[in-house]
Amino acid sequence: QTKPTQVLPEDFPTVDVLIPTYNEPIDLVKETAIGAVNMVYPQQKLKIYICDDGATDDRFNSHDKEISKLAKTRRTELKKICQELGITYLTRPANIKAKAGNLTSALESTNGDLVVVLDADHIPSQDFLARTVGYFEDRDLCLVQTPHHFINLDPIHRNLELPDHCPCEIGRAH
């Protein structure tokens, strides 16, 4: 299917947006959260969660004072952002199974019809949900992966130290 089915606003599914984070800068996570909040979608059908693995209970209560201090500062700052934006802050007891564990833990606290996962540095366009939820009218469909554009070098490009004239996945903004 190349185009999504048109869905009337009253029939829109509920959507939970998960933003998993571990050690990304707070400002970066905030920009993604702001982008998620600004998506055009009925607010009563949209719940956004910052899923913070950088301030798990283990890190928060660590015997290493530096780890504990960083986790406490991180948790405080992210909770403040969540409160300002009207979204939910989640963390968990320990960072077990990395991002997959973070998402699994978050899913235990959510109940949306659909789940969107945004990496901490993936800011959605305002029309992202309007352009994608219609695909799920096809009950055989379980996943939609959309293109994303990088402002900076993508990880493969960066890690391989490829030259600028070598194209990355989608392209870079200049």
pLDDT for 150: 55
CB contact at 8 A, 102 and 94: no
In the chain, what is the straight-line distance between the N-terminal and C-terminal CA atoms, in Å?
32
Q: What is the pLDDT of residues 106-161, one digit of tens each?
A: 999 999 999 999 999 999 999 999 888 988 887 787 888 777 665 555 666 666 77
CB contact at 8 A, 171 and 149: yes
Q: What is the pLDDT of residues 36-83, one digit of tens each?
A: 999 999 999 999 999 999 999 999 999 999 999 999 999 999 999 999
d(Cα 137, Cα 99) in Å, to the nearest integer?
A: 28
Identify which has the larger pLDDT, 163 or 47: 47
Q: Which helix (H) or strand (E) holds 102?
A: helix 98-107
pLDDT for 168: 57
With 0-12 CB in 10 A as exposed, 13-18 as middle and 19+ as buried, what is 24?
Answer: middle
pLDDT for 113: 94
Q: What is the pLDDT of residues 79-97, one digit of tens each?
A: 999 999 999 999 999 999 9
Residue with structure tokens 């802050």?
A: 89
pLDDT for 151: 55
d(Cα 151, Cα 132) in Å, to the nearest integer?
A: 22
pLDDT for 155: 63
Categorize the per-residue pLDDT at 11 as very low, low, confident or very high, splitting at 50, 70 and 90: confident
List own/partner pairs for 72-81 with CB under 8 A and 24 or more apart. Answer: 74/26, 77/26, 78/21, 78/26, 78/29, 78/50, 78/52, 81/26, 81/29, 81/30, 81/33, 81/50
Is the whole-model pTM more than 0.75?
yes
